[in-house]
Amino acid sequence: MSKRKIALGPGAASLILIVVALSLCMLAMLAQIGARSDYNLAARSAEMVTRVYELRDHSEHRMAELDAVLARCGAEKQDREAYLAAVSENLPEGMTLNGNIVSWTEPLNNRTMNCEAEILEPDGIPRAKWITYKLKVDEPEDDWEW
């Protein structure tokens, strides 16, 4: 039996080389597109985390202001109702008292942190404790990039 040889000429080898080169170029382009998308996602995520930490920082400063008010009002050693009335009169701007719960909001751009703290006994440490701090994000739908 005679075996037949399949010979590839210079044209077929050149064609295979061109296909391989184009495939590698396509792979490089897809890798760059993926890297750019990852970078954009990481940048947006870092920006969001920075905003959340700013809001958290503002709310902690406001909690410190509340603690200073509670310390001043608690130094007078009065009964619970008089203490809460004095606290209500001296609350920092933007804070509201409902029973023994103080609430306020911290806005920053399109994010808002709703904060609540419970007032504890005037002679105790701590004088107030966190109940909630919830983050609310108001982003329009057209802000999302798909």
Domain membership of residue 54 (yes or no) is yes
Q: What percent of the chain has pLDDT over 90?
A: 29
- Domain count for the chain, please give it: 1
Domain membership of residue 8 (yes or no) is no
Cα(146)–Cα(144) distance, integer angstroms: 6
Parent domain of 123: 15-141
SS3 label, residue 114: strand
Domain membership of residue 76 (yes or no) is yes
How do residues 28-49 score in pLDDT, each as one tens digit?
A: 999 999 999 999 999 999 988 8
pTM of the model: 0.69
* Of residues 6 and 1, more confidently modeled: 6
Domain membership of residue 58 (yes or no) is yes
How do residues 81-125 score in pLDDT, each as one tens digit?
A: 888 888 888 888 889 888 888 999 988 888 888 999 998 887 778
Phi-psi region of 61 (alpha: psi -120 to 50; beta: other; left: phi over 0): alpha
**76: pLDDT confidence band, cut at 50, 70 and 90?**
confident
Domain membership of residue 146 (yes or no) is no
Domain membership of residue 44 (yes or no) is yes
